[in-house]
Amino acid sequence: MTPWGEMLRTAALLGVAPDAFWRLSLKEWRMLTQTPGAATPMGRKTLAQLMEEWPDGG
């Protein structure tokens, strides 16, 4: 279940008006609420590139 009330309260604390909140995309919401400097998950392509560049040698 989506915690709409909690999300709307967070938006209000951030200065986002209710009408603007309801127009936000999920991506925009995440950008607004994400902790600065938080890492995003690594994709398979990036992992494969790192594995190729830094082999175990084992």
| Residue at 15 is within a domain | yes
Residue 3: inside a domain: yes
pTM for the model stands at 0.55
Pairwise CA distance, residues 31 & 35, whole Å: 9
11 inside domain: yes
CB atoms < 10 A from the CB of 4, how many?
A: 10
| Mean local confidence (pLDDT), 28-39 | 82
pLDDT at 58 over 60: no
Domain assignment of residue 8, yes or no: yes
In a domain, 48, yes or no: no
Q: Which domain holds residue 16?
A: 1-38
pLDDT over 80 (residue 57)? no
- pLDDT value of residue 16: 94
Q: Could you tell me which residue, 57 or 19, shows the higher pLDDT?
A: 19
The conformation of residue 37, written as its DSSP 8-state character, comes to: T
Residue 32 lies in a domain: yes
Q: What is the DSSP letter of 14?
A: T
Residues 6+ apart with CB under 8 A from 24: 11, 16, 32
Q: Is the pLDDT of residue 14 over 70?
A: yes
When pLDDT is cut at 50, 70 and 90, the band that residue 17 belongs to is: very high
Domain count, the chain: 1
